[in-house]
């Protein structure tokens, strides 16, 4: 075995009603398996009502089935019990992993004290409607610009040393019965052991999910912002990275002032110069994001993205403020402390 292949990799893919996706997402992983780049490809069928398990088996994957539908966290935990590799590489069933993924995983894991690594979506998401592209490219935007060392984890295309995963207890599927931020919370526990989690921008996959404003709001609020805010407040507060950095907080404050100025216009029409000024400042503050989006869809696409992004800032920041109130005033501090312990 060459030095490049010193660490064996078990690919873990939780799957639910993914039969229509498997020809695209599983094929490159089976190619890696046949080439010896990975040791196993484990597909965990989470009680799918379609032919997910049968097709995965026919394509060459090792198929496991959860006893009950428990979500991706439970499926990944089950796979970890059967994985034989040194590394668990998690790939979502709607992500097409790039062929050089194993190289980047092994390279990151060869760094001192690294226990986990995660990457980002590529710049060619499947959904071509402007909003779907905005959502997937925004995720890429933050991960591509993240600090090298993180205190969180992303399971869409990320890897963890198998022994560390088992040591910290895997994904917390009791607290997060509904799939949400169980990967982020796992990252907190890994970081608490003193080990490193690194972001590798070259570790990429194509996201096949098509976003709409409706499903985005539901996911952002109930599956991301609320549980993540509660986790941060109960653990160690805001981190200065990804979409919770100090710069992002400043932009969120500016977006809030912009919204207030617009809402005040019917009562105080004379405030319109301030509203325009705040709008200009908001675009200037998000100039880097605007440039990135322009490169992927032109000026009109970038304008729509940055404008909607102000709304995103407002509801995300509002949820965090609510969770602070909930924690310190409504007595949730004790409940979260008991749950954490």
| CATH number for 121 | 3.90.550.10
**Same domain membership, residue 277 and residue 204:** no
* Residue 341 clears pLDDT 80, i.e. is over it: no
Distance in angstroms between the alpha carbons of the first and the last residue of the chain: 43
Select from 92, 88, 62, 79 the least CA-distant residue to 8. 88
Nearest to 151 by CA among 268, 218, 15, 245: 245
Contact 227, 316 (CB under 8 A): no
Residue 167: domain span: 3-134+144-211
pLDDT tens for 90-112 read 999 999 999 999 999 999 999 99
* Dist. CA 228–CA 47, nearest whole Å: 27
The per-residue pLDDT for range 190-206, each reduced to its tens digit, is 999 999 999 999 999 99
User: Is pLDDT above 50 for 275?
Assistant: yes
Residues 48 and 170 in one domain: yes
pLDDT(287) > 90: yes
pLDDT at 1: 29
**Per-residue pLDDT tens digits for 121-168:** 999 999 999 999 999 999 999 999 999 999 999 999 999 999 999 999
Residue-wise pLDDT for 206-216, tens only, equals: 999 999 999 99
pLDDT band at 235 (very low <50, low <70, confident <90, very high): confident
According to DSSP, the β-strands at 114-121 and 87-91 are: unpaired
Distance from C-alpha of 237 to C-alpha of 252, rounded to nearest angstrom: 17
Residue 170, classed as helix, strand or coil, is coil
* Whether 254 and 203 share a structural domain: no
Comparing CA positions, the residue from 21, 95, 89, 100 lying closest to residue 56 is: 21
The percentage of residues in the chain with a pLDDT greater than 70, rounded to a whole number, is: 94
Q: Is the pTM of this model over 0.85?
A: yes
If asked whether residues 252 and 296 sit together in one domain, one would say yes
As a whole number, mean pLDDT of residues 295-313 equals 97
Taking the alpha carbons of 124, 125, 130, 134 in that order, is the dihedral positive or negative?
negative
Chain centre distance of CA 65: 24
122 in the same domain as 57: yes
Confidence of residue 246 (pLDDT cuts 50, 70, 90): confident
* d(C-alpha 223, C-alpha 31), whole Å: 33
* Across 308-326, average pLDDT: 95
Total domains in the chain come to 2
Q: Are 159 and 285 members of one domain?
A: no
């Amino acid at each position: 075995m060459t030095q490049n292949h010193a660490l064996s990799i078990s690919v873990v893919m939780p799957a639910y009603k993914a039969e229509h996706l498997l020809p695209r997402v599983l094929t490159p992983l089976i190619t890696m398996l046949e080439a010896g780049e990975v040791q196993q490809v484990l597909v965990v069928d989470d009680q799918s009502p379609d032919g997910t398990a049968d097709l995965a088996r026919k394509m060459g994957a090792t198929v496991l089935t959860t006893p009950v539908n428990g979500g991706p966290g439970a499926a990944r935990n089950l796979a970890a019990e059967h994985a034989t590799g040194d590394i668990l590489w998690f790939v979502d069933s709607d992500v097409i992993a790039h062929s050089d993924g194993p190289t980047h995983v092994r390279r990151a894991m060869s760094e001192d004290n690294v226990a986990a690594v995660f990457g980002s979506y590529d710049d060619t998401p499947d959904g071509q409607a402007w909003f779907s592209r905005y959502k997937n490219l925004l995720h890429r935007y933050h991960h591509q610009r993240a600090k090298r060392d993180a205190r969180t984890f992303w399971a869409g295309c990320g890897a963890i040393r198998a022994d560390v995963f088992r040591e910290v207890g895997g994904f917390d599927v009791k607290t997060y019965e509904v799939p949400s931020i169980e990967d982020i919370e796992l990252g907190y526990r890994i970081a608490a052991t003193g080990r490193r989690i690194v972001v590798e921008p070259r570790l990429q996959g194509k996201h096949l999910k098509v976003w709409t404003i409706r499903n985005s709001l539901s996911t952002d609020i109930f599956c991301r912002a609320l549980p993540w805010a509660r986790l941060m407040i109960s653990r160690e507060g805001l981190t200065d990275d990804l979409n919770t950095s100090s710069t992002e907080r400043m932009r969120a404050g500016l977006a809030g002032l912009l919204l207030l100025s617009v809402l005040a216009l019917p009562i105080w029409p004379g405030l319109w110069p301030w509203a325009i000024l705040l709008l200009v400042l908001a675009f200037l503050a998000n100039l880097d994001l605007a440039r990135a989006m322009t490169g992927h869809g032109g000026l009109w696409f970038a304008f729509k993205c940055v404008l909607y992004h102000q709304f995103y800032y407002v509801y995300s920041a509002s949820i965090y403020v609510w969770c602070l109130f909930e924690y310190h005033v409504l007595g949730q501090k004790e409940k979260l402390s008991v749950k954490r312990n």
